[in-house]
Chains A and B, each alone.
Chain A
Amino acid sequence: MTVAPAPATVRKLDMTRVIKTFPARRRQNPVVAVGPVDLHVDAGELVCIVGTSGCGKSTLLNIAGGLDHATLGGVSVDGEPVIGPGPDRGMVFQGYSLYPWKTVAENVAFGLECQAVTRARRAERVRELLAIMDLTAFADRLPKELSGGMRQRVAIARALAPEPDILLLDEPFGALDAQTKLAMQEFLLLVWQRTAATILMVTHDVEEALFLSQRVYVMHGRPGRVVEVVDVPFGRSRSTIVKRSPKFLDLRDEIQELFRQPTS
């Protein structure tokens, strides 16, 4: 784990002309839910997909994770096609999805167990991640004893443990209160910088997307399509002050205006 970001030209996730349809009901054509969508994430990037609920952004993330399949189009990670879920694409969901019977440390270790990592190496990696996530003091607690923000930190640590090529986050802070959400956003930026992870995140919160990411895919409509790709001009390390800059507010208004457009 190095602090230096990987060269930005290495393509990690590549989704080309991805279409998802739902099977036809009686005497009707198949319903196109998503697409066609083109999307890519380079190594070390933090990219957000922002969209209103029902626009298919989570479906797109699930397709990248291999939990759902594209009807048409190509999805690849490091040039290899995605055919199913795997530990190279760690996922975090809004509902935390922690194993309630496992302690924090055991939750984080699960992915390493599946990889048959030796016990000593596992313990070391868990210790390392808990330190990054500021959870060392809670290693032996059960998830139900933790707050929402802490649970989500455990989920992120668990997804990072098998050293994934890309981290897929599905509205990870959607269930948190405003204050915790803000703290978690800053925390995610910190973790991203410390671990040089590649992250694709889905959110419905425009400010969150702009604050965190280097590029924002704006999805809208039914079928959900990318209506605009916004390059975010702020640096890798940023503080909440960014949120008050005119550029930030302009971009925010611009994206929100897109959501106002009627969908055809």
Chain B
Amino acid sequence: MKFGVVVFPGSNCDTDVKYAIETVLKQPVDYLWHQEGDVAGYDCLVLPGGFSFGDYLRIGAIARFSPIMKSVEQFAGNGGLVIGICNGFQILLEAGLLPGAMKMNDSLQFRCQDAYLKIENNETAFTNKIMPGHILRVPVAHGEGNYYADESMVAELERNGQIVFRYSSSEGVVVPEANPNGSTANIAGVINKEGNVLGMMPHPERCAETLLGGEDGKLIFESIINWHQGGGKRG
């Protein structure tokens, strides 16, 4: 299964993502510079974390118009798997590939800590290897991860099973104290209606091997590979 990691000026988790896919999961992976226009031949595109274009104007607002994004949109439109992590999530929101928007953390502080994630939908291309009831421990590191969706949008997301992760206690209880940034309904990750584009604030690539303090993040990548091997279609 071939992965492509989209690199924008200011991306800084691209190397970590490549390492997790290549060294931990033993899958081929290439960097794709944001000015490239072609994403043919890839099975999954990753938009990594960082501070693309210095977070100028609005996070993700400028990256969203990078030349490669037209190809990413087309790839996603054809059913290709796309995962945006942290800044990558913010870019997908700005691009309209995922619903909602991101605001500054309600604490106004940059939050760099482990977060516990309750899995609300483990039947997606990105979560199918996660056992029901398993609470993930995955680090977050962001200043603007305060996911916003209005009431009717949240209701629709719930109805469609589009809320994939919620910030929870280590026991999996969704409480305000477990919410690191003020996100609406403790939302940590959402998927599009079609189920092939996922955005998440926590960083699975930072916990894909025990040496780094945990392996929960590996489950996300293993799910993607499992889904692909099970006949998922190429974008």
A and B: real partners?
A: no
